[in-house]
Amino acid sequence: MGWGSVLLFLAVALLCQRTSSIGANWGTQASHPLPPDIVVRMLRENGIQKVKLFDAEYDTLRALGKSGIEVMVGIPNEMLATLASSLKAAEKWVAKNVSTHISTDNVNIRYVAVGNEPFLSTYNGSYLSTTFPALRNIQIAIIKAGLQNQVKVTCPLNADVYDSSTTFPSGGDFRANIRDLMITIVKFLSENGGPFTVNIYPFISLYNNPDFPVDYAFFDGNSQPLNDGGTYYYNMFDANYDTLVHALEKNGFGNMPIIIGEIGWPTDGDSNANVDYARKFNQGFMSHISGGKGTPRRPGPIDAYLFSLIDEDAKSVQPGYFERHWGIFTFDGLPKYLLNLGTTNSGSLIQAKGVRYLQRKWCVMRPNVRLDDPQVAPSVSYACSLGDCTSLGVGTSCANLDGKQNISYAFNSYYQIQDQIDTACKFPNISEVTKTDPSTGTCRFPIMIEPYYGGAAREQRFFFPLLMAAAITVSIF
């Protein structure tokens, strides 16, 4: 190899090292999840080389085998107590969900995420005593399995585990009531080569605070900058990220690697959750990190996972209806908007292939039924409690529907989730099945995909009503 070739090789290698890495969160809280093999093919065709899971479902991991995709496998919060109290349980979990998939299925597992945002204030301290012991036991189990050089532990945390005493990033430190615990966890992660994983959501800040400056949530530089002692912040992400960097530095961990475990923008369920804002945010974020510039306090590549890959219609609607609409793809693998991840030749997302749908038919309100029919209100309440009406209401994709269309949407959601069985469109003398698509404008009346019964999907579908929040009340008249 000549000197010219060597220099070119080094330049390309350096460029690759300086390029930020994008992955995606693959959640499966859906009434009709896409089959794992279809999702893995979609990931590969879109050039997404990293995926973060929230569990260790067998079929999902097996489908990822031999794909080359880096995997962060998840341990739900509900398992923390068991794993914290029993090293043997941790060893069995690692053997079943990590070792076997690596050795038998050739799955490229790189991280185990122990818990998911376990210190959220809304959990009222439920996982404060179990998170670190579980983390420690999983690490011991990984070492016993001889996988410590390949698989690292981490604990995805919400950005509320740190704050600033001055409102500026430079005042960053861990939240006072969990500071000692956070330092214990960070020290343990650092000693074992694990990254600090944090979820940052500018949308939630906008959702929770009507006075939050909208432009500051995005990356186009139009907002009034925050001046932190001569360091200027033009967007919330950089300011939030550097608040964490300062917190780590303040406690002696300034070089600790950081992973953005979740970042994204929903497309429905709230007036600020729409396709235009989601495209603006996610494309802005991709452009922001694409050059490996980093943030003012920590220059360099940013390792991140978009939240999320696919919509999930069985997610809890706390803290809002938008929770079911974070996907860059719809539930059936259709791109929601033009988004260039820099990973495809087309510069746009590629839809899922091989998706099989139920019949082209919908359940709607009979045209001759009056809105004040006494059967309407209880029927809609029932349909929404067991279906998904989060696209209805002010500021949503279906906001322009009239009263009868709202009712039809509710009926159809229940009908589709119940696999179009005849009895699911038997609301007393007020519903009927039609083969004419009632979709209109931005409001899509979906047809569900054929049920996938592999792995945990069968269990999830059987208990689907239990996964739903309480009945969703919408204004339909």
Tokens of 417: 């989730």
What value, to the nearest 5°, has the Cα angle with vertex 124 and ends 118 and 130? Answer: 45
In 3D space, the residue among 19, 69, 12, 17 whose CA is nearest the CA of residue 40 turns out to be 69
In 3D space, the residue among 199, 230, 360, 353 whose CA is nearest the CA of residue 297 turns out to be 230
Q: Is 262 among the residues known to form the active site?
A: yes
The number of beta carbons lying within 10 Å of the beta carbon of residue 363 is 26
Active-site entry in 91, 262, 312, 323: 262
The number of beta carbons lying within 10 Å of the beta carbon of residue 429 is 10
In 3D space, the residue among 5, 45, 43 whose CA is nearest the CA of residue 24 turns out to be 43
Active-site entry in 57, 117, 312, 323: 117
Distance CA 155, CA 221 (A): 32
| Cβ atoms 290, 302 nearer than 8 A | no
Q: Where are the beta strands (DSSP E) in 127-238?
A: 152-154, 157-158, 162-164, 172-174, 196-199, 226-228, 231-233
| Residues 6+ away with beta carbon under 8 Å from 402 | none
- 3-state secondary structure at position 366: coil
Q: At what angle do helices 376-386 and 403-417 cross, to 10 degrees?
A: 40
Q: Is 117 among the residues known to form the active site?
A: yes
Q: Any idea which residue has 């932190």 for tokens?
A: 228
Distance CA 132, CA 104 (A): 30
The number of beta carbons lying within 10 Å of the beta carbon of residue 351 is 15
| Cβ atoms 65, 105 nearer than 8 A | yes
The number of beta carbons lying within 10 Å of the beta carbon of residue 87 is 16
47: left (phi over 0), alpha (psi -120 to 50) or beta: left
- DSSP string covering 410-425: HHHHHHHHTTT-GGGG
Pairing of strands 303-306, 258-263: parallel
- 3-state secondary structure at position 87: helix
The residues that are catalytic are 117, 262
